[in-house]
Amino acid sequence: DAKTTQPPSMDCAEGRAANLPCNHSTISGNEYVYWYRQIHSQGPQYIIHGLKNNETNEMASLIITEDRKSSTLILPHATLRDTAVYYCIVRVELGANNLFFGTGTRLTVIP
């Protein structure tokens, strides 16, 4: 699976959009980008995933660049409950089943 690079930490003001970047420059054509988050020692929570196209669900939007070498997770109106560690994970079709959690980005939403 392709390696991902994320900033170690970010702050965001409550009510503003949180934009979390992820670099996956070695991604291949059959690799998906997944985002999970872990709120203070709870179990990781699935957020969203995509292959090529931008995706949106009730939690977030995922913007994948045209060359697929990077992506951005957008939380449109961050709340204090969004404070968590966010993990960007690349998974290949027909690859290993386990998720590889790197160090992620620690997002702190500030009142």
Partner 1 sequence: NAGVMQNPRHLVRRRGQEARLRCSPMKGHSHVYWYRQLPEEGLKFMVYLQKENIIDESGMPKERFSAEFPKEGPSILRIQQVVRGDSAAYFCASSPRGSSTDTQYFGPGTRLTVL
Give the interface with partner 1 as residue ranges (CB under 8 A).
Answer: 32, 34, 38, 41-46, 49, 87, 91-104
DSSP of 34-76: EEEEE-TTSPPEEEEEESSS-EE-SS-EEEE-TTSSEEEEEET
Question: Between residues 63 and 92, which has the closer beta carbon with respect to partner 1?
Answer: 92
Q: Provide the pairing of β-strand 55-56 with 61-64.
A: antiparallel
Considering the complex, state which of residue 50 and residue 70 has its C-beta at the smaller distance from partner 1: 50
Q: Which two tokens stand for residue 52?
A: 């090529």
Q: Which is nearer to partner 1, 41 or 67 (CB)?
A: 41
| Rounded least distance, CB 15 to partner 1, Å | 28
The nearest distance, CB 79 to partner 1, in angstroms, is 21
